[in-house]
Amino acid sequence: MNESDVRQRWSAGEPCHGLWSLLPGVVSAEMLARTGADYVVVDLQHGAATEADVPGVAAAIRAAGAVPLVRTRSSLFADVGRPLDLGAGGVIVPNVRNAEHAREIVAATQYAPAGGRSIGRLSGGADEPLVIVMVETATALEDLDAILGVPGLDGIYVGPGDLSLSLDLTGEGRSGELRGVLSAIIARAVAAGVPIGVHAYNGDDAARFAAEGARIVTVAVDTVSLGEAMAHHLGVARTPPAHPAQ
């Protein structure tokens, strides 16, 4: 799986399934990629990995057959281009305000004359990296149709947590309203022919988003899944068997 394969799948209306990593290190990244994931996202915004980890982690993910994506630390010009120089096959950029901001981000991923990215790629990476912006603010939602029309954008990715904060939909009983907003965003992206993903923490939620048309399908987050699995096994071990051995 490479960046071209991902674009072809999305263009054909087919989903790509991936995993999200908050843990640092080559070993954990390679383990995630070897599960059969199409992509693995290394989270520099909220995860424990740093830019210094990106070359080795990206190489391990690619060697295991998946596309290494990076959620950048921020939407600043330098933070967008730096992971691409260090081996990322694409970026997922947070905190996008509107279409004009999205155009600036696309330009930060492209060399002149199309954009303003500086030549200096150090390790691996892609000649035409995947460019995905996050819709997680009220202003981005208000300008969604224009964002969907930005040239050079490969997709949008919805962050339900921050979007719920921005829309003031975090109170008790507001989950249904938020779910309606997410469904509407998916429908608008599908109608525009733009690949969309909604951040999910488990396969059930990811499958529901995919059934509505999401093509960027994040299935799980490593720290969440690891914690759930360990808690489950501890619970099993601490539960007396129904029929003790004789």
Residues known to be catalytic: 46
The closest of 18, 64, 17 to 41, measured between CA atoms, is 18
Amino acid at 205: D
**H/E run at residue 71:** strand 67-71
The closest of 106, 99, 114, 108 to 77, measured between CA atoms, is 108
The closest of 138, 159, 161, 145 to 194, measured between CA atoms, is 145
Which residues on adjacent β-strands are paired with residue 117?
Answer: 111
| DSSP per-residue string spanning 144-197 | HHHHHT-TT--EEEE-HHHHHHHTT--STT-HHHHHHHHHHHHHHHHHHT--EE
Q: Which residue in the block uniquely carries the two structure tokens 């990076």?
A: 70
